[in-house]
């Protein structure tokens, strides 16, 4: 199995990067939709229904598959011989960043359900603040992988 993973390493890496880009696009965009939804849209209106549909499609059709693909290809990279040296710090900081990013993804999913049920209690300002978290995590993850400290 490890010979197979080593043989397809360039493809795995390329597909991992593509998945991460798609996931991050959604991770950055969904909280921004929530800002506008919370600040400018009244519950029960036609605009509310439109925002709910956009949020649901973004999460279900783009973000969820991209997150799963990111995890699958990332784990394939982890199990490819010679790629990860667990005695270094970088794989641990990357793993921590990915775990927090995954938590954030699920937090966004719960907030989407709040909007769908008409129960959102968070103001746009809170979504703006939470929208900074993926940027910090992205910086941590990219520096961890590229610099490999």
**Tens digits of per-residue pLDDT, 28-75?**
999 999 999 999 999 999 999 999 999 999 999 999 999 999 999 999
Contact assessment for residue 103 and residue 42, using Cβ atoms and an 8 Å cutoff: no
Report the half-sphere exposure of 62 (CA within 13 A, side-chain side). 18
**Tens digits of per-residue pLDDT, 77-109?**
999 999 999 999 999 999 999 999 999 999 999
Q: What is the pLDDT of residue 43?
A: 95
Q: What is the pLDDT of residue 76?
A: 97
pTM for the whole thing?
0.94
Contact assessment for residue 90 and residue 145, using Cβ atoms and an 8 Å cutoff: yes
pLDDT over 80 (residue 128): yes
pLDDT over 80 (residue 110): yes
pLDDT over 90 (residue 2): no
Tokens 């991992």 sit at which residue?
A: 16
């Amino acid at each position: 199995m490890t010979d197979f993973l080593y043989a397809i390493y360039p493809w795995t890496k390329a597909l991992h990067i593509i998945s991460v880009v798609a996931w991050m696009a959604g991770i950055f965009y969904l909280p921004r939709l929530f800002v506008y939804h919370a600040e400018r849209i009244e519950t029960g209106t036609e605009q509310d229904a439109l925002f709910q549909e956009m949020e649901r499609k973004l999460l279900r059709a783009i973000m969820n598959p991209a997150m799963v693909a990111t995890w699958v290809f990332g784990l394939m990279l982890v199990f490819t011989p010679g790629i990860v040296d667990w005695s270094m710090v970088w794989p641990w900081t990357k793993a921590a960043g990915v775990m927090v990013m995954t938590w954030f993804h699920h937090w966004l999913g719960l907030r989407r359900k709040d909007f769908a049920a008409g129960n959102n209690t968070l103001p746009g300002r809170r979504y703006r603040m939470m929208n900074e978290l993926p940027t910090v995590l992205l910086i941590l993850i990219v520096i961890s992988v590229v610099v490999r400290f």
